Structure 1
Amino acid sequence: METWDPNTKLTLTQIPLLTMKAGPRDGAAWMQRLKEEYKASIAYTGMNKSNDNDWFRISTANPKETRWTGKCWYVHNLLKYELDLQFDMLVTYLSTAPEIELPELDGNS
């Protein structure tokens, strides 16, 4: 953190820390981790909205809360580009980061 700029440090101090080390196959511990993830996501989204920097919405797409879907957007030259997004929390989550997919851009780059 020593090399991070002051704005990044300030942002991180306003987001609750995640302390539970659990993944989807950890049962009750996973549910506790999800609560922490929700709190952090809500805090981050709230900060973005208050700074007029709102750029995504996500929600769970299955009962185990391992698949997430939503929308993300970008405004360029007063045009808003909105894309679907999706990702899965792999059973190896924490060791393996989720891969965010933008299906509409698949094969276009």
Structure 2
Amino acid sequence: MELDLRLPYSTEGLPGLGGQLRAAPDAFVVEEIPLYEACGAGQHLYVNITKEALTSREVQRGLAEAFDLPYRAVGFAGMKDKHARTTQTFSLLVGHVDDEFVRAAPARISAKTP
């Protein structure tokens, strides 16, 4: 004996509205809001990255490779949707570095992240 557990839709007799769901990544935009501002001192380099068609883990691995770090030295606050345009902050445990290291960081990131 098989039970039919389907329930009727309350809008079953109404015409549809049309439309499309997420036809392109920029139809779904996520911008992470940090809990606090970076203080500008310490051993972490914070980078904000806007990405499409990449998982947070893929970016994590690219950043780890760019800075020759173990992937666990690159942190982030939660996985973001791969099929969206997301802006997310990553923290890199790079130790105490000089200003030149920080200035060179964007080029290293661009060269190694997908």
- Measured against the shorter chain, the TM-score band is under 0.3
Q: Which has the higher contact order (CA 8 A, sep 6+)?
A: 2
Higher helix share: 1
TM-score, normalisation: structure 1: 0.26
TM-score, normalisation: structure 2: 0.25
Q: Which has the larger radius of gyration?
A: 2
